[in-house]
Amino acid sequence: LDHGAITDLRRRMQIVFQDPFSSLSPRMRVAQIVGEGLQVHRSLSSGDVQKRVADALAEVGLSADIADRYPHEFSGGQRQRISIARAIILEPDFLVLDEPTSALDVSVQAQILNLLEEIQSRRGLAYLFITHDLGVVRYIADRVAVMYLGRIVEHGTTAELFASPQHPYTRALIDAVPQIGAELSPVISSGDVPSPLAPPPGCPFHPRCPLASERCHVERPSLHRQAGTTVACHHPLTAPDLAAT
């Protein structure tokens, strides 16, 4: 891509970081933080920038009166709202949300998730939501990709993946979520996570997988369609050979 295309791509793709306490410059006022992208990607008067900043703050539930204040004057939830305002002010098509609620109190997490859903519905945005919280995944995602040691091991619609996980790692993650009144599920993974810098040969999950065979030790599985999801596993959980055992 040439410089112009890259610049436009950067405008159309924005990110909200995990930690609102470190992702906002303590030396900048809110108006500068939220409006900085406009200085790079738009040729606007100071009055127009001020209005755009006020509109973005209002969209995330904050008053324009806070524009001259500094990040340290706000709570974690308010800071994350400022981060979201910074991301949407350039009217992007795509947002990367990197654990946007994990650093927040539980009561605030729900508010931020609801806000993100409202913004997505209103603006028609696509989200790439990165999280380790399956409750959040189930609430906000349409499709899910499960990664292990940097590789996708299973992906599918949220409904399909939660109803019938095919990869043992996906099943272990779902079974690890406590359920009120439910019996404890058997642990289907054990051992330590290998180093991502020196992953094991074959399937990266085989040192911890109770279904691992000799093939898993030497041959990395490729992604293939299996019972509703796409999975990288030699022994998916609904495979005929497993069902017969």
pLDDT along the chain (245 residues), means of 10: 87 95 96 94 90 98 97 97 97 97 92 97 97 93 96 97 94 85 66 88 94 96 93 86 46
- From the centroid of its chain, how far is CA 209? 25
Which range of residues forms the domain containing residue 162? 143-243
Residues 149 and 130 in one domain: no
194-209 pLDDT per residue, tens: 898 999 999 999 999 9
120-146 pLDDT per residue, tens: 999 999 999 999 999 999 999 999 999
Residues 132 and 230 in one domain: no
Residues 15 and 58 in one domain: yes
Residues 195 and 125 in one domain: no
Residue 244, pLDDT score: 43
Residue 90 sits in a domain whose CATH number is: 3.40.50.300
**158 near 137, Cβ under 8 Å?**
yes
Of 73, 70, 230, the C-alpha closest to 157 is: 230
Of 116, 140, 164, the position where a domain reaches its end is 140
Residues 35 and 131 in one domain: yes
Q: Dump strand ranges (E) for the chain.
A: 13-16, 94-98, 126-130, 143-148, 151-157, 224-226, 229-231
Of 110, 140, 170, the position where a domain reaches its end is 140
pTM of the model: 0.88
Cα separation of the two ends of the chain? 53
DSSP 106-141: HHHHHHHHHHHHHHHHHHT-EEEEE-S-HHHHHHH-
Residues 60 and 148 in one domain: no
Of all residues in the chain, what percent carry a pLDDT higher than 90? 78
Residue 238, pLDDT score: 79
